[in-house]
Structure 1
Amino acid sequence: MSARIQLDNPHAFYTNLDYISGRVVLSLNSDENISAILVKLEGESQTKLMRPMNPHGSGHQRRDRAIPVTENHKVLYKVSQVFPTDEGPGAGTRGAMYTLRPGQHEYPFRFKIPFNNGCSDPQNQQLGAGGLAGFAALGGLQQLQYRHVKRTLPPSLTGFPGEAEIRYFVKVTVQRPGIFRENWRSAIGFRFLPIEPPRSPPTSNEVFARRPYEFQSGLAGFAKKNKLFNSRKPSRLSDTAPRGEVDARLPSPAILTCNEPLPLRIIIRKLNESPEYVFLTSLQVTLIGSTEVRAQDVARTELSTWVMMSLNGLSIPVGNPSDKLRNETVVDKMLWDRIPLPNTVAPSFHTCNLTRRYELEVKVGLGYGMPGDIQPQTVQLPLRFQTEIYSGISPPPALLNAMASRPAVPARPSASNAPRPAARPSAARPPQQPAYDPAYPPQLTTPYVPEDDAPPSYEDAMADEITPADGPRREYSGVTDVNSPALDAKTPQYSARHGDPGPGGGEGSGSGPGGAVV
């Protein structure tokens, strides 16, 4: 017997409000007794860290070796029973046993991906931990103590093997009645990229990073080497070397878009009179990703870098010695405006045990001298921004209209006085950022104290009435490290034979015209 999943028209990646559909194909060589066939749409955010040693502690705080700690959040969990169905044979008699004849049997399924994560739902936590029977054994009791973030679903993320991972998949479970008969299952993964929050109307405001530069006056170097006599001729410079400022600017708010070029401007400002020219000699643009990994009371930050461009040996004159003071020269954006963000860059996100933030570093190299005689003296000016990265998938107009017309919801009382699990003094987790996202209001509150006690999710309530997002779909691999392959629709399915808990069961386991100066 074999059970496999075939997706209808598999996408390179899926997003919120998309339908993911397909068929469960069951191939039997002989008669087989089946009680139910379940299809599950799941998303998991898993982290694993090592709690450091504490040989000088006392009692339960004393540890002579590092021990692993984990967190596993079911950010997405939907279940559909495709056999027997309410309309099919055996309707109304679920739990009975059915005999399927040899041959191939197909059962269609269809899910709609919601907006917000559902790990704060206690039912999902219980189901994801293997049902009530395996709840304590698989860490379900501890799962109820985790702090949960209610935001839009996070993107697929790999690249930190054994430490951090966000993955999505469709799984089928074939239940076979009998004490010694194992259930069969198969799964196929897919990539997920969330719809971006609504953007503010464009303005002329910019955020910027600024640094001054100044060259030393006098004899700063030598002219080009004389090839005929193998000697150097000294070059005398003026007593007033160029001085000025360099700005790197982004539109405010500072938002970059996956797979799109940088909306960057570089401006060089003249601050003194000098007969020498200023030259752009090098330019490097680097995106720096900071991934905060949390597991219980342990936290670790992983840095990832993407060098988007690195140009050296340039000799591009900037302005002219005859320009007026405080004259601004804009560097030609043709140097970078055709270089998109790599498809391995995930949008910024914040979920229960993982947070991704970004900085953009622009390193400008300047030299001075005369055309054909640039002096060896150069300056390197690093300019940094904190930026947000959006997916580039715009919300459908129907959703924006629904959000604009939603009724006001009274604020709920603060849950700051709710009891929380005590943190271990040896490796305390840093306080988490407030996770309320005004663009995506949180989901229904639960009996367990979530990190954000907030109104029901209007977007999820409207999701069934809104069509999927219609617009360009950019490339996205979900892989931070190219040595770690992503799990996607082309990944071979895995199959296993083991016990499954059944229906509801799981597998267990500075802004404005003034800007901001940096």
Structure 2
Amino acid sequence: MSLPTISLQLHQGKDKPKSAPNDHLVGHVILELKAPVDISQISVTLSGRSISRLDGTRHSQSHQFFQTTHQVFPQSAELDVRSSKSRTMGPKQYAFLFSLPDSESYQIHVDQHSGKKSLTEWSDFKIHESQSLRGRLPPSTGDPSSNAEIVYSLDASVTIGGIFKHVMKKSRQIFFYPTTSAHQPSQSIIHQREITFRQMEKDKKSTPAYGVAIELGRGGHLALGQRVPIKVHVTQADPTSQDVLILNDYQVMLIEKTVTRVGAQSQVQQLFRTLRTLSNLNLGICLAEMPVNNAMTLSDDSWGPLSLPTDITPTFETCNINRTYKLEVRLGFKGGPKKTQTRILEVQFPINIAAN
């Protein structure tokens, strides 16, 4: 018997699909027959699994957190008492359409042989022995060499023959980025600091001269490719200070934190990525004519708009991998009588990153 050739095609050649809530993954199972073949059933399965690893060891742990299967042939409308029998198909190419719904939530069943006891000890995830972890589908990471890997696979299964059946399978990995529903911007996050300068070089004491508030809009909920809304508000806290404050340095860094767990062991990795660094801005902030405690606002027009890179993996959490982000903003100010005194302000904002 000449066996068919199986291939999987996604619509519009989407090797890296993004999925919004209630979207479907659409494609075809392609059968190339060179001779008549009896086909009993064709089905496709989309599944996802997480793999956590620990540096310096061979320890790893894998969990399947998502699986959905759809019968392509025969279709549900064709099912009857004869559906268990095979259908003979002549030699040519056949294309069977499939459409798999993406789930907004998934359920992870704890494997008793792969760390059920250790899962109950992860207090930060609040997992109890009688429960399964539920949450949003995590995005693909696409990096098999990393400590945290999320893999989605699309599998086609073709059952051939009548009484003596033979099952052929074809599998391919897909890159999956679930997106979030649009929502109204949340309240801004604001960190407030004070800057002091000595009024004279020989002075040993400093008094509060300026108040600085660094604001991150949208409540820290950011999307890939989206503008990062940062504002700086400066107030004159000391009415006797009539000098000009200078914003000289501006830096924004993204801090990625990944917690991976294998059994009872856990490991933390941090990656730092500079998004914008500017020096010698020499941006003068004159508050002499403003009432005390009235703020002057500097938007990102002063240092150029900044967008979140699109090659970042969005925030996610599974039963053994947790990835979070912080945005670090560093500002360098110059002040004092001769503008020789430098003050550095550094704040960190917890942020949630989603695919857009």
The answer as to 2:353 corresponding to 1:389 is yes
2:35 aligns with: 30
Aligned match for 2:301, one of 299, 317, 334: 334
Q: Secondary structure at the match of 1:339?
A: coil
1:96 is displaced (CA, Å) by: 4.3
Deviations 1:125-152 (A, max 9, x none): 8xxxxxxxxxxxxx77437665532122
Q: Secondary structure at the match of 2:256?
A: strand
Listed as ranges, the matches of 1:18-417 within 5 Å are 18-49=23-54, 66-75=57-66, 77-88=67-78, 91-94=80-83, 96-120=85-109, 141-142=113-114, 148-159=132-143, 161-176=145-160, 183-196=168-181, 206-219=188-201, 243-251=209-217, 253-272=219-238, 273-321=240-288, 323-335=290-302, 338-368=305-335, 375-391=339-355
Contact persistence 1:116–1:151 (CA under 8 A): yes
Deviations 1:388-434 (A, max 9, x none): 3344xxxxxxxxxxxxxxxxxxxxxxxxxxxxxxxxxxxxxxxxxxx
Q: Distance in 2 between matches of 1:259 and 1:111?
A: 27
Contact persistence 2:191–2:347 (CA under 8 A): yes
Contact persistence 1:39–1:171 (CA under 8 A): yes
1:218 is displaced (CA, Å) by: 3.3
Q: Secondary structure at the match of 1:334?
A: helix
Q: Distance in 2 between matches of 1:180 and 1:253?
A: 57
Structure with the larger RCO, 1 or 2 (CA within 8 Å, 6+ apart): 1
Where do 5+ consecutive residues of structure 1 fail to align?
Answer: 53-65, 126-138, 221-236, 392-473, 475-518
1:446 aligns with: none
Q: Distance in 1 between matches of 2:206 and 2:45?
A: 72
Aligned match for 2:10, one of 7, 16, 19: 7
Contact persistence 1:261–1:336 (CA under 8 A): no
Q: Distance in 1 between matches of 2:138 and 2:45?
A: 18
Q: Distance in 1 between matches of 2:58 and 2:140?
A: 27
Q: Distance in 1 between matches of 2:297 and 2:271?
A: 30
Contact persistence 2:247–2:332 (CA under 8 A): yes
CA change 1:299–1:40 in 2 (3 A) is: same
CA change 1:292–1:93 in 2 (3 A) is: farther
Q: Distance in 2 between matches of 1:21 and 1:281?
A: 52
The one-letter code sitting in structure 2 at the alignment partner of 1:193 is P
1:281 is displaced (CA, Å) by: 0.3
Q: Distance in 1 between matches of 2:257 and 2:237?
A: 36
1:266 is displaced (CA, Å) by: 0.9
Give the alignment's TM-score, normalised by structure 2. 0.80
Q: Distance in 1 between matches of 2:262 and 2:229?
A: 36
Q: Secondary structure at the match of 1:157?
A: coil
Contact persistence 2:230–2:299 (CA under 8 A): no
Give the alignment's TM-score, normalised by structure 1. 0.57
Q: Secondary structure at the match of 1:359?
A: strand
Q: Secondary structure at the match of 2:210?
A: strand
Contact persistence 2:326–2:351 (CA under 8 A): yes
1:44 is displaced (CA, Å) by: 2.1
Q: Distance in 2 between matches of 1:140 and 1:25?
A: 38
1:165 is displaced (CA, Å) by: 1.6
CA change 1:375–1:198 in 2 (3 A) is: closer
Q: Distance in 1 between matches of 2:201 and 2:155?
A: 73
Q: Report sequence identity in percent.
A: 21
**Larger relative strand fraction:** 2
Contact persistence 2:47–2:64 (CA under 8 A): no
1:252 is displaced (CA, Å) by: 7.2
Where do 5+ consecutive residues of structure 2 fail to align?
Answer: 120-126
| Corresponding pairs, count | 336
Q: Distance in 2 between matches of 1:166 and 1:348?
A: 12
Contact persistence 1:116–1:152 (CA under 8 A): yes
1:18 is displaced (CA, Å) by: 0.5
CA RMSD of aligned residues (A): 3.4
Aligned match for 1:17, one of 19, 22, 31: 22
Q: Distance in 2 between matches of 1:259 and 1:46?
A: 27
